[in-house]
A = this chain, B = another copy of it.
């Protein structure tokens, strides 16, 4: 078997074999990083309530630290090597993002949590390429529920889910684990079988990349540019993505069968798109996002001035945020505004900040209310 063993060897020539992360039965986690010449290696992760911790250099130049026990969840983390933030080379799970590169740690629950892989029927996740704005080709990630291919006569409602600033169309899948959340909710009968469509919120960047233009600064520095960007995602969703999905998937094509949600910027985009297209969406969720009283009084006056109509049209108006989120205050103001204007909404305030640990909670809770 020599030759076959040989063809199995990777380049570059092997060093010591590093295992990272290693999650132990007691929910402590050991991290390893190979850096024979580094002077200081630090572990930085959203699971470290006490802040970053130093790692210790061991044999063969492998730096190690064991932390925890850690509360079961999925967390972004990095190593900081002599001041430079790096992903964990030993971990294949990554955080898709335009501006930073992070690794992902899963600490499983004693019973698998709702976002964990369970022994239930699994849906599929498909990367579709569709005609987008200005002759560009868009990429959108689509979850189809278990049994979709086995029931050719069944049509499904669609949940449009937009990620935040610097996130990509992959983030709700790779970090939010939306596919496993839906698999598990559906298996328990807690959510309706639905298609989930995850677009890319930064259309301008994709157009620039494909045309070879200089990538526009994001987020834009002035509100006019912000409005233009907002209009782009609205046009891409309404004119390109929804028609593409509804002609390529078995969907129910009425407003009661379309939901829209988003996180952070995606939540702002969600409110703009939903309030501006009440004929298209009946279910609206904003995760750590808000519209300002000024916007409600002006851009969304049709929504704010006629609460009876709004309450009749919206099957769900969901608002959620963590109480230490940097957007907690504007979200509170938004809820206060709707309260004062008799606009019905459902609010979920959790602990924690502007994190994907919270996003998973928001999706898990709000998805159970959709299309019922």
Residue of A17, A100, A129, A293 ringed by the most chain B CB atoms within 10 A? A129
Judge whether A253 is part of the interface by a CB distance below 8 angstroms. no
- A3-B97 contact, Cβ under 8 Å, with A8-B219, A25-B212, A129-B122: no
* Number of chain A interface residues as a range: 35 or more
Contacts of A1-59 to chain B: CB distance below 8 A: 1-11, 14, 17-19, 22-23, 25, 35, 37-38
Judge whether A345 is part of the interface by a CB distance below 8 angstroms. no
Residue of A7, A23, A85 ringed by the most chain B CB atoms within 10 A? A7
Judge whether A327 is part of the interface by a CB distance below 8 angstroms. yes
Cα distance, A230 to B4, chains bound together (Å): 9
| In contact, B97 and A92 (Cβ under 8 angstroms) | yes
Number of this chain's copies in the assembly equals 2
**Shortest Cβ distance from residue A187 to the other chain B in the assembled complex, whole angstroms:** 13
Contacts of A324-355 to chain B: CB distance below 8 A: 326-327, 330, 333-334, 354
In-complex Cβ contact of A19 among B6, B215, B293 (8 A): B215
Judge whether A272 is part of the interface by a CB distance below 8 angstroms. yes
Stretch of A262-270, A301-309, A357-365 lying at the B interface: A262-270
| In contact, A7 and B89 (Cβ under 8 angstroms) | no
Q: Please give, as numbers and ranges, the residues of chain B lying within 8 Å of A235 by CB-CB distance.
A: none
Cα distance, A248 to B124, chains bound together (Å): 11
1/0 contact trace for A209-237 toward B, CB 8 Å?
01010110111100100110110000000
**Shortest Cβ distance from residue A77 to the other chain B in the assembled complex, whole angstroms:** 13
| In contact, B219 and A9 (Cβ under 8 angstroms) | yes
Q: Please give, as numbers and ranges, the residues of chain B lying within 8 Å of A165 by CB-CB distance.
A: 8-10
Chain B residue at smallest Cβ distance from A96: B92
Cα distance, A226 to B5, chains bound together (Å): 6
| In contact, A137 and B122 (Cβ under 8 angstroms) | yes
| In contact, A164 and B10 (Cβ under 8 angstroms) | yes
Q: Please give, as numbers and ranges, the residues of chain B lying within 8 Å of A6 by CB-CB distance.
A: 292, 327, 330
1/0 contact trace for A184-216 toward B, CB 8 Å?
000000000000000000000000001010110
**Shortest Cβ distance from residue A303 to the other chain B in the assembled complex, whole angstroms:** 14
Q: 24 interchain pairs (CB within 8 A)?
A: A2-B223, A3-B294, A6-B327, A7-B268, A7-B327, A8-B219, A10-B164, A10-B265, A11-B326, A14-B219, A19-B214, A25-B212, A82-B83, A82-B84, A84-B86, A86-B86, A86-B101, A90-B99, A94-B94, A117-B129, A117-B137, A119-B137, A124-B126, A124-B127
